[in-house]
Structure 1
Amino acid sequence: MRVNPSEHPILVTEPAWNTPENRERMAEIMFEEFQVPAFYIANTGVLNTFAAGKGSALVVDVGQSVASVIPVVDGFVLRKGVAYSNLPKLVAAHARHILLGNNIDLIPHQLIASKTPVEPNMPPQYAVREDKIPGVTDSWRQWYEDRAVEEWTQNMGGILEQGWNDQLAIQRPARQYEFPTGFNTFFGPDRFHVGELFFFHKPNLVASNSSLPRHIPALISDSLRACDIELRQVLMGNVVVTGGGTLFSGFTDRLHNELVRSFPHVKIHAPGNPVERRYGAWLGGSILASLGTFHQLWISKEEWMEHGKGIVAQRCK
C-alpha cells in the first residue's frame, strides 16, 4: 500500500471462532514487526451488523470457504450462538464435478496463444503457448482451476426460490457459458443443482457422508437454539445477508421462504450492490474506525508494552 505502518493505526477483522492464540499473535506482529501506533481486532459479524446500520442482527455470511451464522446483540457477538461449516467448499466441489463430468478442460487463459470461435458443444480449436508450459507448477494450476470453477459458479449458479422442483428446474432457460479454450455450451438444471446445496442435502448424500457440512437452514437453526428465546424474534427481524456466496441468483428469496415458515415476521437485509454484499465487514470496519468514540478502544503501543498479550482479550471483546 506504500504507507508507513508506524504512522497509522491498524484495524483487523476476525471470524467469531478465531482463537486467543491467533489474536495475540496478530497483535504481536503488528506491534513488534510493523511498529504500528495502535491496533484493534473487530469481529466480522459485528462489522457486518454495523454496515447494515443495525446494532443487533443475525448475520448470515457465506464466503469462499466458510458459511457462518453469527448472532449479534447490542454490538456484541453471542458466542454460544455461533454456527459455521465449510459448506462453500462442498458447493465448489460439486461445481467442479459438473464441469469435469462434461469433459471440460479448465486450461488457464494465460496458456492459450490463440483460439477460433466455434459453435456450441463443438470441440474447441485453440493453440497452447508451449513456451509457458515448463514454468507451470501444480499449485498454480490448482489455484487457477479453483478460480475458473468459482467464476463459472458465480456466473451460472442459481437457486430455485421455492425449493427444489425437477420440472421447474427444467423449465428455467438454459444459459450459455464460454471457457478460455473457446468451448461453449448451455447449462440448464445443473446450474441449480450447485446452489441447492446451500439449502438442502439429499438423504442419500447425508447417509453416505457423516461429516457433510451443515447447510444454511441447519446453521440458522443451530444458532437460534443456542440463543435465549426472547432474543430470537429480535434476531429474525434483523437478518443480515453478506458474503460473495450469497450473490447466487435467488439466494435471498429462497432464504426468506425457508425462514418465513417458522418466523412470519422475518426481515432480511441484503445489499443490492455486489461490492457492498461481498465486502460488508470492510465497510463496517471503516464505519467503526471513523467514529469519534472509537479512539477509546484502540490498543496503543504504550499499553502493549505495559500489559503485553493480556490486553488483547481485555480490549477486543
Structure 2
Amino acid sequence: MTEGRSCPLAYRYQADHLCAEPIPVSEDVVYVIGGLYGNPHALTEIERMARSEERAGRRVRLVFNGDFNWFNASDELFQDINRRVLRHTVSLGNVEFELANPSAEAGCGCAYPEFVDQGVVERSNRIMTRLQAIASGHPELQDQLSRQPRHLCLMFGGLKILVVHGDPDSLAGWGLAHEAFSAGNDSAVQAWLQATDADVIACTHTCLPVLWSGRVGERARTVVNNGSAGMGNLRADTRGLITRISTGAPADNAVVGHDQGSIEVSLVPVAFDVKAWLPQFDTLWPAGSDAAQSYRSRIVQGTSLAPEQVVFHSVV
C-alpha cells in the first residue's frame, strides 16, 4: 500500500447495499455539506443560511458527509468544529475515519489517483499526521467520530438520496470526481445508479463540483458533488459550495441547479468571511507549510472552473 494513494479494505462497501434502508426525512430542505475542511467561518455562514431558510418557514436538515476536519490544526479549533458538526446528521470522510481509526500505511486515506502530483500526496499525509496528533488529545471526540456511519440513504420528497463521501464503491473513491466526468464516465455512473437504486447521489471528497443529470431506466437521476464547502470552487470566486435539495422553493442564489420532479437539486454558495479566515489559516499554516503550499492559492483565488463547466448530462 502506498501512503495516500491506496486505502484500507475498511473503506470499501457494496453499492447494492447502500440504499437498503433509507431514513425518512421530514424537513423541507437538506443541506449536504462536504469538504468544510475545518473552516469555522464557512460553518458559521452555513448555520446562518439555515436560520434564514427557517425564518422563511422552511425546516432545514444539515448533513455533513465528511472532511469537515482538515485545516483545524489546533486544540481549540478541533474541538469547536467537531462539537458543532456532531450536533447534526453526519457521515464520515476519509479524514474523520483516519482521525478516529488510524490505519497503518494509509497516510491521509485520500486514495489520490495518478493525475495528482506526488508532492500533494506527501503534503496531505503530513497534514493528517499533524491532525491525528491533535485528535489523540480528544478521545471523547474520536469516540463520537468512530460511531458515525460511512454513508447514508435518505428518503426525501419520495426519492432516495444516497449520501456518500467518495463514490458508491469506496469511502475515498474518485469515480464521481469532476475529472472522471470530464473523461466520460457515464457508463460507470449509470451502473452505480442502477445498483444503488438511488434517485440522487450526493458526494464530495474530490474537491471540484459536479452536477450531472440523466435517466436510468424510466427514472430521472442526478449526481451532485459539492466540491468544497470551506474553499472556493469556481474561477475568481472564494465562496464555498454546498448541495441544497428541497421540496419547496428553489434556491434563488444557486450557481447551478436541476429540477427533478418533486425535488430541486442545486449547488449554492457559502459566502463566508474569507478576510477573517485567511489570518487564522496563516497562523495555523504559515508560508511554506504543507497546507499553505497545497491550498492557500485556492482559498484566495478559487479554481479555474466556470459555472457551466460544472454541469454534465448523460450521453446515453
Q: Do both proteins adopt the same fold according to a TM-score greater than 0.5, normalized to the shorter chain?
A: no
Query: Which structure's residues are more often helix, by fraction?
Result: 1
TM-score range, shorter chain: under 0.3
Query: Which structure's residues are more often strand, by fraction?
Result: 2
Per the normalisation by structure 2, the TM-score is 0.23
Larger Cα-atom Rg: 1
Per the normalisation by structure 1, the TM-score is 0.23
Greater RCO structure (CA 8 Å; 6+ sep): 1
